[in-house]
Amino acid sequence: MPETVRIDKWLWSVRLYKTRSKATQACKSGEVQMEHRPVKPSSEVGPGHIIFVRKEGITLKVKVLQPLEKRVGARWVEDYLQDLTPEEDYMELKTTRSTNFEHREPGLGRPSKKQRRQIEALKKYLK
């Protein structure tokens, strides 16, 4: 097993991103940080590094336990990373998802342009 591995490969391997190209794009766009600095996709990561990943409206904080080159099953991910994200962030994400859900009765079809504007105004008001 290698001592270090590319960060984009590691992020994909531990299932933080669905594809390696999405992990690479996240690194390029500054969504992934190590030691509070943006990283390039080719940056090396090893045991003990703390990585911050901005995803779905929250910032995930994970600690690298072991480098990994090949993708593993979901049940083995906890052997390679430690999630240090506060529970409050996950609760905030859950409430955000539940409040942004709009319920429409079956058979009503898509909202009209006027209804969409009203929905957007309500979303802005609730934030």
Domains of the chain, start order: 1-91 (3.10.290.10)
Query: What integer pLDDT is reported at residue 120 of this predicted model?
Result: 86
- The span from the CA of 5 to the CA of 79, in Å, is 16
Average pLDDT of span 94-112: 76
107 vs 127 pLDDT, higher one: 107
Residue 64: alpha-carbon gap to chain centroid: 16
DSSP 46: -
Query: Would you say residue 123 has pLDDT above 90?
Result: no
32: β partners: 53
Q: Which amino acid is at 50?
A: I
Residue pLDDT, tens place only, 2-45:
789 999 999 999 999 999 999 999 999 999 999 889 999 999 99
* Contact (Cβ atoms closer than 8 angstroms) between residue 100 and residue 120: no
Average pLDDT of span 95-114: 77
- The span from the CA of 108 to the CA of 115, in Å, is 12
DSSP 124: H
57 vs 1 pLDDT, higher one: 57
3-class DSSP assignment, residue 53: strand
Contacts of 22 (CB under 8 A, 6+ apart): 12
84 vs 95 pLDDT, higher one: 84
Q: In what order do the strands lie in the sheet with 37-38?
A: 37-38, 32-34, 50-55, 58-64, 81-83
CB-hemisphere CA count at 13 Å for 97? 9
101 vs 68 pLDDT, higher one: 68
